[in-house]
Structure 1
Amino acid sequence: MIYQQMFEKFRSRDEVRVAVIGAGQYATAIVTQEPQTPYLRVTVVADVNVENAREALRKAGHPDDALVFAATAEEAESAIAAGKRVYTDRGEIVAAIGSVDLVCESTGVPEAGARYAHDAIEAGKHVAVVTKDLDVTVGPILRRLADEKGVVYTPVDGDQHGLLVQLVEWAKSIGLSVISAGKATDGEFVYDADAATVTIHTDKTIHPPYQETIPVAPADAKYLGMIPEGHAPEYVAERARILAGLPQPGSYDLCEMAIAANYTGYAPQVDTLLHAPLRITEIPIAYAPVADGGVIESDGTIDLATCFRAPEESGLGGGVFIVVRADNAYSNHIMTTKGQIANADGTATVIYRPYHLCGVETSTSLLVAGLLGLNTGSEDYRPRFDLVKVAARDIAAGEAFGNDHSPQLTARIVPAAPIASGNPASAHLLTANRAAVDIAAGTLITYDMVERPADSLLWRLREQQDQTFLR
């Protein structure tokens, strides 16, 4: 593969020494995959639960006598020099460990992540960001600070937005026009026509009012058949109605699409995203331009799809997709007659990647940064859009705001705006902070509705980002 050739011929060092901060499921996969990955060495794992940090290293096959707890950067440095792997509950020491080349920030906590990423950049270390809550809030300014320091700030392979950005960049590099781009939601809608039911296939817990399985009324069954030519708008709308009782995309889904929008410059058509339940073969039918029978109003639209399939059919695997055309007629003919899935008249073709391997494949981004000094995003990363929140129920003054998994709030993607009274508040400047006033259900949360924390690096970075890009 081209990556291995580049690493062999152009690498700047023999290995990339990585510190992982936050040992959740995603990051643990990075740690456990490292022993099989050339040029990569995870030397430090940090987590507020120190046992999680140690257990990640154990799962990678390292014996206990090869593991050392460190409370200071000096202790960590000494242990690494002795060939040991370090675990710690003190993420704040990582930036001061001189032998660490790259920090993989995966805490999932935007305030903590801001500190770890910022300190790493200031210390001249590359940063790979897994915490999308951080990236969607202040990613562009962290990227700018990294550029100024001569280090890399990068999204990661394995996360859907990172993979989607690369797929878009690839399409542009070979001259394809991207009509729409998106990711599959993790859950898939499985239609059993004989039983007249649709069931969501997911590993997530299902909360009321949503259900795991819904019945299909006889009158509705036709809308679950293959979309006929010219009927995409009708079928998309009817499926939204029929399948509304199944779990819908979460704020975390929109968060990833907001990051992808900021990297690509592509825009959502509506602030909640269209989110059509589609068979793979229907994506180029529905997510094609309106003039060609689809629902997309302009090229460069970013969105979501939930894979809709029969029990025996393969799905999208939580992967990513683009709908494209070749603007040269002959090239378009070649593309649409050589096995690609196109709409009826060949004006739109879907190209998709039916998997994302989370931390198992993140090593490519870590190695591209550490060995080549490059990122796996795109060059023009700026705050074009914000993820913002709407109260899903009444919120009392003094109540803490939840994160992207909380049913307290729903999400929207809107044009980015600076911190100012009356402007929609960036979603993760709310997280764990308190409502300044009573907020009625259905209200868009603005900055004057949130109590600003007394000493927040996340907020200060956001102000710096606003001044750099939005003034």
Structure 2
Amino acid sequence: MSLHTQLQRRAAAGKPIRVGLIGAGKFGSMYLAQVPPTPGVHLAGIADLSPANARANLARVGWEPARTEAASLDAALQAGSTHVGEDWQALVRHPAIDVIVECTGHPIAAVDHCLEAFANGKHVVNVTVEADAFCGPLLARRAAEAGVVYSLAFGDQPALICDLVDWARTCGFPVVAAGRGHKWLPHFCESTPETVWGYYGLTPEQAQRGGLNPKMFNSFLDGSKPSIESTAVANATGLGVPSDGLLYPPASIEDIPFVTRPRSEGGVLERKGMVEVISSLEADGRRIPYDIRMGVWVTVEGETEYIRNCFEEYNAHTDPSGRYFTLYKRWHLIGLEVGLSVASVALRGEATGVAAGWQADVVATAKRDLQPGELLDGEGGYTVWGKLLPADRSLRMGGLPLGLAHGIKIVRPVARGQSLTWADVAMDTGTRAWQLRRDMEELFAPGRLKAA
């Protein structure tokens, strides 16, 4: 039975999925825009550090003020309306809530929200993929131990890529490569919130109109978000990652099956079965026509002559050998698609992407020379960007996860382009996020943990 049909039946029975949203920023607002026309879903509560901003975003997406006048969560549940407040703990602890959508974008806080939700028997759709990147495998295990579902968010590219990989494997195709697109030139890794809009292709006026956060969008641009999302995909699917970071080969959609082949066959991959990101810009900055910048893709292999003949007979676009075929989705709609994850975890008990192992990591890497006493400002800021590395390499070097590289002090010089280690910083060891990360290192690589 389709998810939509199940939602309609829940609506008809007066038993909607009851959802709590933590964080009503840009991503959360996009989800909020889709809630009213979706049957069988009751968004009972929104927790945000600024309820006033949350209400402003609700007005921006078209919600009537009367929908959010409930004085408490209990009142909202009784009236079928939505309570807006600051208390996320009340939201995750309320026995009537079925699913928590974690949408803060703050990785350390997101870990607290997820763990508390698990402890209270709530499924979690985690939009804050930054948290998943540094401790997703253990978050998934904690959810399973609690008997609930932990999931990446559909609409965001990692879940869409996982869906394509699942399609390929379920159809019997070996996955050669999978990933997303990105607008990339090497110097973008040093971009800051002051330079982001010019590089990104938006005017400051467009950014202001959309309520866009320059630090967040700079994390998209500087390579941090592609690394984070590729990590989530690798950990969920078991695909490998490049040994020294993403390569960003430039390619049109037509050329993706050509470049996402092993090097021995003329492509860029170290081997078959890897994640990669395709650039929408040539090395000289020229825009590539019909690009995959906002989309996702998977390249599969036709192992037999019969399958390769089928590719040809049905006009499937392949590389020149006819062996490699790429299926793609050119766009992703971010928060507008999160409802699929909410329905999937609540109705089917299935995640739309979840870490199954520790394949990859994102290590904080210096954008410029850093000196003792400086504070790191995390993803998308002025000090560091995130580099994708194999998990075992990150562990051997004691790599500092990007998700924990915020508000902590440098204790020894770090050169521009150098990846940071635990020994380079005075780490705050009092957070659950830090402890979960260290527990994950112990669990997945016993005996190899470096001292903090």
- Could you say whether these structures have the same fold, taking a TM-score greater than 0.5 normalized by the shorter chain as the test? yes
Q: Which amino acid aligns with 1:429?
A: L
Instruction: Indicate how the Cα distance of structure 1 residues 205 and 387 shifts in structure 2: closer, same or farther if over 3 A, else same.
Output: closer
Distance 1:403 1:338 in 2: 48
Find out whether 1:438 has 2:421 as its counterpart. no
After TM superposition, the structure 1 = structure 2 runs for residues 231-380 of structure 1, keeping only pairs within 5 Å, are 249-308=222-281, 313-316=289-292, 318-377=294-353
Larger deviation, residues 338-347 vs 361-370: 338-347
Where in structure 2 are there 5+ consecutive unaligned residues? 202-219, 447-452
What SS does the aligned partner of 1:104 have?
strand
Normalised by the size of structure 2, how large is the TM-score? 0.84
Instruction: Indicate how the Cα distance of structure 1 residues 10 and 47 shifts in structure 2: closer, same or farther if over 3 A, else same.
Output: closer
Distance 1:42 1:354 in 2: 30
Q: Which amino acid aligns with 2:34?
A: Q
Q: Contact (CA 8 Å) 2:180, 2:292: kept in 1 or not?
A: no
- Give per-residue Cα distances to partners, 1:166-223, cap 9 Å, x unaligned: 10111000011111111011x389xxxxxxxxxx9xxx9782898689xxxxxxxxxx
Instruction: Indicate how the Cα distance of structure 1 residues 419 and 68 shifts in structure 2: closer, same or farther if over 3 A, else same.
Output: farther
| Identity fraction in percent | 26
2:195 to 207, 214, 219: 207
Instruction: Indicate how the Cα distance of structure 1 residues 419 and 433 shifts in structure 2: closer, same or farther if over 3 A, else same.
Output: farther
Distance 1:297 1:418 in 2: 16
Instruction: Indicate how the Cα distance of structure 1 residues 276 and 317 shifts in structure 2: closer, same or farther if over 3 A, else same.
Output: closer
Instruction: Indicate how the Cα distance of structure 1 residues 77 and 419 shifts in structure 2: closer, same or farther if over 3 A, else same.
Output: farther
Equivalence for 2:214: none
Find out whether 1:396 has 2:371 as its counterpart. yes
Instruction: Indicate how the Cα distance of structure 1 residues 390 and 467 shifts in structure 2: closer, same or farther if over 3 A, else same.
Output: same
1:120 to 94, 97, 117: 117
Equivalence for 2:444: 469
Find out whether 1:4 has 2:4 as its counterpart. yes
Distance 1:141 1:311 in 2: 40
Instruction: Indicate how the Cα distance of structure 1 residues 33 and 20 shifts in structure 2: closer, same or farther if over 3 A, else same.
Output: same
Q: Contact (CA 8 Å) 1:420, 1:447: kept in 2 or not?
A: no
Larger deviation, residues 338-347 vs 90-99: 90-99
Q: Contact (CA 8 Å) 1:421, 1:448: kept in 2 or not?
A: no
Equivalence for 2:43: 42
Larger deviation, residues 84-93 vs 345-354: 84-93
Distance 2:278 2:403 in 1: 24
Find out whether 1:170 has 2:171 as its counterpart. no
Shift of 1:2: 4.1
Instruction: Indicate how the Cα distance of structure 1 residues 290 and 421 shifts in structure 2: closer, same or farther if over 3 A, else same.
Output: closer
- Give per-residue Cα distances to partners, 1:143-164, cap 9 Å, x unaligned: 1111111111000111111110
Shift of 1:257: 0.5
Q: Which amino acid aligns with 1:368?
A: S
Distance 1:392 1:48 in 2: 30
What SS does the aligned partner of 1:98 have?
coil
Q: Contact (CA 8 Å) 2:429, 2:435: kept in 1 or not?
A: no
Equivalence for 2:22: 21
Q: Contact (CA 8 Å) 1:419, 1:466: kept in 2 or not?
A: no
Q: How many residues align?
A: 419
What SS does the aligned partner of 2:140 have?
helix
Shift of 1:6: 6.0
Shift of 1:416: 2.4
Distance 2:150 2:441 in 1: 19
Instruction: Indicate how the Cα distance of structure 1 residues 468 and 188 shifts in structure 2: closer, same or farther if over 3 A, else same.
Output: closer
Find out whether 1:76 has 2:73 as its counterpart. yes
Distance 2:110 2:200 in 1: 34
Instruction: Indicate how the Cα distance of structure 1 residues 133 and 358 shifts in structure 2: closer, same or farther if over 3 A, else same.
Output: same
Distance 1:336 1:10 in 2: 45
What SS does the aligned partner of 2:361 have?
strand
Distance 2:400 2:288 in 1: 44
What SS does the aligned partner of 1:438 have?
coil
Equivalence for 2:449: none
Equivalence for 1:223: none
Q: Which amino acid aligns with 1:266?
A: L
Instruction: Indicate how the Cα distance of structure 1 residues 206 and 111 shifts in structure 2: closer, same or farther if over 3 A, else same.
Output: closer
Larger deviation, residues 437-446 vs 344-353: 437-446
Distance 2:266 2:378 in 1: 38
Q: Contact (CA 8 Å) 1:77, 1:98: kept in 2 or not?
A: no
Instruction: Indicate how the Cα distance of structure 1 residues 157 and 422 shifts in structure 2: closer, same or farther if over 3 A, else same.
Output: closer
Q: Contact (CA 8 Å) 1:421, 1:447: kept in 2 or not?
A: no
Instruction: Indicate how the Cα distance of structure 1 residues 206 and 165 shifts in structure 2: closer, same or farther if over 3 A, else same.
Output: farther
1:450 to 425, 432, 435: 425
Q: Contact (CA 8 Å) 1:165, 1:260: kept in 2 or not?
A: yes
RMSD, matched Cα: 3.1
What SS does the aligned partner of 1:35 have?
coil
Q: Contact (CA 8 Å) 2:42, 2:80: kept in 1 or not?
A: no
Normalised by the size of structure 1, how large is the TM-score? 0.81
